Amino acid sequence: MLIMMIEDEAALREVIEYRLNREGYQVASFDNANDALIAIEDCPPDLILLDLMLPGLQGLQFLDILRQRDQRTPVVVISARTSEEDVIRALERGADDYLPKPFSVKLLETKVKVALRRSSGEETVPGGLLSSGGVVVDLGGHKATIDDKEIQLTQKEFDLLVLFIRKPGKVFTRNQLLNVIWGYENDVNSRTVDVHMAMLRKKLADKGRYIRTLPKIGYLWEVRPGEAK
Ligand code: CA
């Protein structure tokens, strides 16, 4: 598990890094958000610890940019700005949790653990497997199976499936899907999303029904109670 920490106070960085290392996490530390944003491209973290008041790019600006392209990676804000307004603003802009400074590192460890567990989905089983409604995604082995039979998916279809299975019930707009899956690629539009979703649905055969279309809005993955075999 790789944790990215963006914090400009060196002493605090050292303490947190030491404690998280001890818990078995890898930590990549940054004293500013600009460098972190670049590093994220090459080495996407499993979780981000984010200070708000930073030199250069501010924490909330970083969060805005991150959430435009990545809805998934959990962000825990650590900040001395503790008013209710600050907390709500950070959550609304895509933070998963908020820890006011000063805090106990023990509490931070717990928040990290909980945020990681939540992000990996309720149905996560050991070994990097995700499953929902009988569709199993092996993140490590990079394959999807139904009843132990592998489904041949393209990279984009696989990425879409992982995104949906990680957040069952969450509605993704076409624009969000374009941002998250296609990033800054040229020549893509909402039609591209529809075509890929139709293909993914077809390849999932009868499990394809879990991909629900919300006309004019987007898609979600939903396994209704009693519906999964
Ligand atoms: Ca700071």
pTM, full prediction: 0.56
| Overall average pLDDT of the 177-204 stretch | 87
More confident residue, 115 or 133: 133
- Decide if 133 contacts 228 (C-beta within 8 A): yes
Query: Total structural domains in the chain?
Result: 2
Ligand 1 centre and the CA of 114: distance in Å?
24
Ligand 1 centre and the CA of 119: distance in Å?
26
Ligand 1 centre and the CA of 8: distance in Å?
5
Ligand 1 centre and the CA of 60: distance in Å?
12
Q: Looking at residue 165, which CATH number applies to its domain?
A: 1.10.10.10
Residue 70 lies in a domain: yes
Ligand 1 centre and the CA of 208: distance in Å?
46
| Overall average pLDDT of the 157-177 stretch | 84
Residue 127 has what pLDDT?
65
Residues 143, 208 within the same domain: yes
- Would the pLDDT of 167 be above 90? no
Which two tokens mark 6?
């963006």
Ligand 1 centre and the CA of 118: distance in Å?
27
Residues 98, 136 within the same domain: no
Residue 58 has what pLDDT?
96
Range among 11-20, 62-71, 103-112, 188-197 rated most confident: 11-20
What CA–CA distance (Å, rounded) separates 77 from 96? 8
Tell me the average pLDDT of the chain: 88
What CA–CA distance (Å, rounded) separates 122 from 130? 9
Identify which of 196, 190, 124, 122 has the alpha carbon closest to the alpha carbon of residue 155. Answer: 196
Residue 228 lies in a domain: no
Residues 84, 137 within the same domain: no
User: What is the C-alpha end-to-end distance of the chain, expressed in Å?
Assistant: 32
Ligand 1 centre and the CA of 207: distance in Å?
47
User: Domain span at residue 153?
Assistant: 129-221
Ligand 1 centre and the CA of 53: distance in Å?
4
Residue 126 has what pLDDT?
58
Residue 177 has what pLDDT?
86
